[in-house]
Structure 1
Amino acid sequence: MTDAPNYGFDTLQIHAGAHPDPATGARQTPIYQTTAYVFRDADHAAKLFNLQEVGYIYSRLTNPTVAVLQERIATLEGGVGAVCCSSGHAAQIMALFPLMQPGNNVVVSTRLYGGSITQFSQTIKRFGWSAKFVDFEDQAAVEAAVDEDTRAIFCESVANPGGYVTDLPGIAAIADKVGLPLIVDNTSATPYLCNPIAHGATLVVHSMTKYLTGNGSVTGGVVVDSGKFDWGASGKFPSLSEPEPAYHGLKFQETFGPLAFTFHGIAIGLRDLGMTLNPQAAHYTLMGIETLSLRMERHCENALKIAGWLESNEHVERVTYAGLDSSPYKARAEQICPKGTGGLFTVALKGGYDACVKFVDSLALFSHVANLGDARSLVIHPASTTHRQLTEEQQIAAGAGPNIVRISIGIETADDLIADLEQALNASA
Structure 2
Amino acid sequence: MKNLIVIFTLLTSILISGQDSLSLSNAISIGLIKNYDIQLTNKNVSINKLLNNWGEAGAFPKVTLNSGQNNNSMDQINPASFFDTLNLQSNNISGNIALSWTIFNGFNVKANKLKMEQLVAQSEGSATLAVENTIHGIILSYYQVKLQIEQLTLLKNVLDLSREKYKQQLLKSDLGLGVKVELLQFENAYLTDSSNLIMQELSYKNSLRNLNLIMGEEINKNWTLSTEIKPIIKLYNFEDLKNEMISNNTNIKNQFINISLLNQDIQMAKSAFFPILNLNAGSNIEKSVLRSSLFPGVSGSGENTNYYANFTLSFKLYDGGKVRRGIKALEIQNEINDIQSSQIIAQLTQELSNTYDLYNTRLKIFEINKKAFLVAEENFNIAKMRENNGVINSFTLRDIEMSYLSAGLVLFQSSFNLLESNATLLKLTGKIIQEN
TM-score by length of 1: 0.19
- Structure richer in helix, relative to its length: 2
Higher strand fraction: Structure 1 or Structure 2? 2
Bigger RCO of structures 1 and 2 (CA < 8 A, at least 6 apart): 2
TM-score in terms of structure 2 length: 0.19
